[in-house]
Every structure is written in C-alpha cells, then in structure tokens.
Amino acid sequence: MNLEAIYHEAYGSYAFPLNGRELKIRLRSKKGDLKRAAVVHEDRYPYQPGAELIMTEMEKAGSTELHDYYEALLPCDSRRVKYHFYVSDGAQALWFGERGFSESKFSCHPFQYSYMTERDLFIVPEWVDSGIVYQIFPERFANGDTANDPEGVLPWGGEPQWNNFFGGDIQGIADKMDYLADLGINVIYLTPIFKSPSNHKYNTTDYYAIDPSFGDLDIVKAMVAKAHDRGIRVIFDAVFNHCGSDFFAFQDVVARGKKSPYWDWFFIEEEPVVMEPRPNYETFATYIASMPKLNTNNPEVKRYLLDVARYWIEEADIDGWRLDVSNEVDFVFWREFRDTVKSAKADALIIGEVWHNANPWLQGDQYDSVMNYLFRDAMVDFFAKQTIGVDKFDALLTQARMSYKDQANRAMFNLIDSHDTERFLTTCADREERLKLAVLFQMAYPGMPMIYYGSEIGMKGNNDPGCRGTFIWDAEGQNAEMLQWFKTCIQIRKTIPSLCDGSCRTWYMNPLGNVYGIVRGIESKQPAGVLINNSALEQRLSIPVSWTGKSSLKDLVNGATWDVKDAELNIVLKPYQGVILV
C-alpha cells in the first residue's frame, strides 16, 4: 500500500458540512491502490448516553492521473464528530488518523471536526442549481437608444477594436429580453456598466453612475425589473481591484500629491504622480496607467467599495456580483464584502474571477464560487483543440471537482469562452460539430453553464478585441441550426433534475475511440447518463448501465441507435455525437 499518497485533513475540501447535521469527507490515495476505504465515526464525546460507533463504506468519487478520491457522508446529529479511516489494498489493512497509520484503531489518533457552527456553514443560493448564465458585453449586444450613442460611433457589425464604439446599451438588453427568455437562460451577467471612457468599462470613473452611453439609473431599474418578470436574475461586474485614472480620488492625488486625503487609497512610489511613459504607482496588470490599483486595506477605500456593493443591490435590485481580478484583493476585504452583500440580499450570488485553483477563496467566507477556467481549459483541450484524450480530460475535471467543496461546485460559472478569450468556435477551427458536442456536455455537467453572447448563433472571433464583436441580429447572418441546438440542450438540462443538482461520477472511458461518459444523480429517482463520441469515427459500444434499473433508456438528444440487455447498453454513436440517456 502506498502510504505516502494517502491524504486527508479535517477541513477545507476534504471535510465540510453540507448542512448543520451532515459532514462530507474525502480521502485521497494512489490511483488503483486501494481495494477498500471505510470510515469509522462517532460523537466526539462517545461516552454520552446513546453514542454509538458507526462504520461507513466510502465510494470512489473519481480519479486523476495519480490519485483516487473517496467520499462519504457522515451523519452528525450532535454537530460534533471524530473519525478514523480503514484502508486496505487486499494484502495489507491499516487504520489512518490524524497522527498517521496504525494496525489498531485504538492506537490511532482520530481526525476531529469539532462543531458545525451555523455561522460557518457554506451556504450558496438555492437557485444556482437551476442557473443557466448568459454573459453580455453591453457595448456590443444591442443598441436600443441611438440618442445616447457616444461620439464617433461606428455602424453595427464593424470590426471590433480595443478603442472603438458601436452603441450597445442597457435599453438594447431590455429590448431583447424576450429573446433571452426564449433561449432559456435565467441569469444575465453583465460586464461593467458604470461610467468609464472605454468600451469595456473596466477602468471605472464613477461607481455610482451608469455610463451615459449605456443609459441611466431608471433604464437599469427597468431592465432588471423586466428580467425579473421573466424569471431572469441579473449579475453586475464589480471592479474593486482597481479604478480608472479619471476616478475622483486618483485625480485629486494627481493634483495634490501627498496633501490629498486620498494618497493612501493607492500604491504610489513617490510624488509627483507620473503616468507616462511608465506609471510610478501600482496598476492592474503591468504599467497600465489608466487602471491604478486600489488599496483595499485602507478603511476609507473599504467603506467606499462596500457601500457601492450594497447600493446597487438595494437601488437596482440586482442579484449579485462578479468580482474582477478578485484574487489580487485581500481576503479580509472579501469577507466583509460577503457580509455586506448577503445582508443586503440573502440569496445574492458572489462569483470571483480566478483563472487558477481558487480553493482559498471558496471556504464559505468569501465567494460563492468562481468563473470555472479550470473547466474551460479542459473543454478547450478536449473538444476544441483535441490535444488530450478521455483519460486526461476526466483527470482534469475530477481534480477540479475535488479541489472544492460541493457548494462551490454547484455554483461554478462553467464557461467555454468569454470576453477575455478566443471564441470557442474559432478555437475549434470553425468545426461546428465540436462546439455542439461541447455545449451538450457543458449543459450536463455540475455547475451553472455559462454562454458567452453570440455563441448560440455561431459567432466567431479571436482573442480581445476579436471576441467582442457586435451581436448579429439579422436572421440571415445567424446559424439557425446552432441556435436550435443551444435551445434543445438548455431545455434538456432544465427538464431533468439530476442534470441540475445530482452527483457526478465517471461512467465510461474508451481512450482508443475517444468516447467518454458521466452519470449524474445516481442517488436520484431519475439518473441521467451522458455519453459522447469525440471522434470522427463511428463507435459501436457495449457499456454497463448498472446506475439505472430500467430495461430501456430514452435518448433526449438526437436519436442514437441502441438497446439494453442484462444491464448492458449496446449503442452506435456517430462521429461527434452525444446522447443524454434517462
């Protein structure tokens, strides 16, 4: 038995309450090493009347390239629990506790989860389970009011550049709300809409003012209300890592230097403030003079930004915040931010922008979840570029899931492209069948699928600014077949409960044929199997289907040929065909 690979800790993503009475625990081991993993658990005060010792078998939840992960759910009526693991590779059996391994449980010091306090529970909004997100870059979505167009606006449909404008606005979003409702999405995430001189608005001039080229407060309120009437929530973008160089506080520092009361709102090397050719202050990224970094350790900065967060929830009734460059802002700020947002609206959502492993921010005291770039990276490599096979794809997805608590996984923004990336269809080299297969899988995977505006009609585009083109509203320019495919996949997700909130397990992997399957909701009344053929060849397969007691399965997507005999699925998958079976 490879003892070096066996790992557990009684906190973080290895031990976390799902509620005040159940503890989810995970155990890691070398891949393929263990024949059995179980956990023996009891109350931390076992001599109390009624206390009893319980052994629970652990289930293999998934595998990476190097490790297996096992899970178990421990009931904890007293909110307190201590536990040991029993592990065996068939030749050797040991007990594993906080101080290592032992041949006897009685000489093995247990792990302990001291108490499941209500205040420390990781609670995400219940609505995330059914959430389907649509990201909008407002300047390029729809022009609903030409009267507020900025100077020098270009005709709709022109080539996007980093500094040009086409007139998209909030009224345009409101006017297209029926289109969004018909598509089937129920969450809109808007990139910044506050006053700013740029088309992207990530260099904020005034956090309390809607950019005049987008509209005003009344129009925003009307748009949010119109969305709510259709069951669609609205998420704003919070740019709190940095502001714009036109921000009042920074301008005062430029004018008055250290005499300005706002000097400590920023990280400035010395006076006078120098912007060109190289700024002498910290900025977003590297020497971007128009985006000075804010000092969120300053109590006045903190209060200003927290007031902004509360203001837009209370004033416009928005449903949460997406946090730009959130991994470069201190943890203390985000903890206070969470308290502020949740006190303003208990079921508001908080999503961070983190492109790497975000575990430190997803303990339940800061964000609800993040934009799932780990998921996107795997999707791009497997579906779009086809540079990895099913083994690596499964390992990447498992590693991402096992890095986070279940609550965070439920609330992930599962994107495949965004305003910061090349459009997925372009990455696919315009191979529509690859995008379709990716979308089917995206809609069936745990977390909230996120659609970048225009992907559903086949829009293409290279990295910024190419990915920020104007939406094609002319039906002749849209890919009608792709649009219908998105609608179909969205509707299937909304119809099958296990695709929204069920467990996820690897069902089938065929590396030679590049066929991959997962099953959702094994514990539910209606589990669903997702099977995809990510290859250019037809695949004839015989696959165990022990997760369903049915003698026949229904394909909800596109008519594959199959039969089920003796709990084995015999199926023919066409090239780049995916099925969802219930």
**Nearest Cα residue to 509 out of 416, 402, 395:** 395
149: annotated active-site residue: no
**Nearest Cα residue to 325 out of 261, 240, 449:** 240
Amino acid at 535: S
Say what the alpha-carbon torsion angle 62, 64, 65, 68 is, to the nearest 10 degrees. -50
User: Catalytic: which of 211, 237, 324, 368?
Assistant: 324
d(CA 243, CA 554): 53
First-residue to last-residue Cα distance in the chain = 39
**Nearest Cα residue to 12 out of 371, 357, 437, 382:** 357
324: annotated active-site residue: yes
User: Catalytic: which of 353, 394, 417, 422?
Assistant: 353
Give the Å distances, CA to CA, from 487 to 57, 183, 440, 471, 529: 41, 6, 11, 18, 20
Instruction: Name residue, tokens 């550049």.
Output: 161
d(CA 493, CA 339): 32
Q: Is 436 in contact with 132 (CB distance < 8 Å)?
A: no
Q: Is 453 in contact with 431 (CB distance < 8 Å)?
A: no
Give CA angle at 183 (180, 188), nearest 5°. 40
CA atoms within 13 A on the CB side of 56: 21
In the 3-class helix/strand/coil scheme, how is 508-534 assigned residue by residue?
EEECCCCEEEEEECCCCCCCEEEEEEC
Q: Which phi and psi (to 5°) does residue 397 adopt?
A: -65, -45
Tokens standing for 225?
């209300």
Enclosing H/E stretch for 394:
helix 390-402
Instruction: Name residue, tokens 């791009």.
Output: 380
Q: Compute how many other C-beta atoms are within 10 angstroms of the C-beta atom of residue 244.
A: 23
Q: Is 251 in contact with 263 (CB distance < 8 Å)?
A: no
Tokens standing for 169?
């606005």
With 0-12 / 13-18 / 19 or more C-beta atoms within 10 angstroms meaning exposed / middle / buried, residue 53 is: exposed
Residues 408, 505, 455, 328, CA torsion sign: positive
Catalytic residues: 324, 353
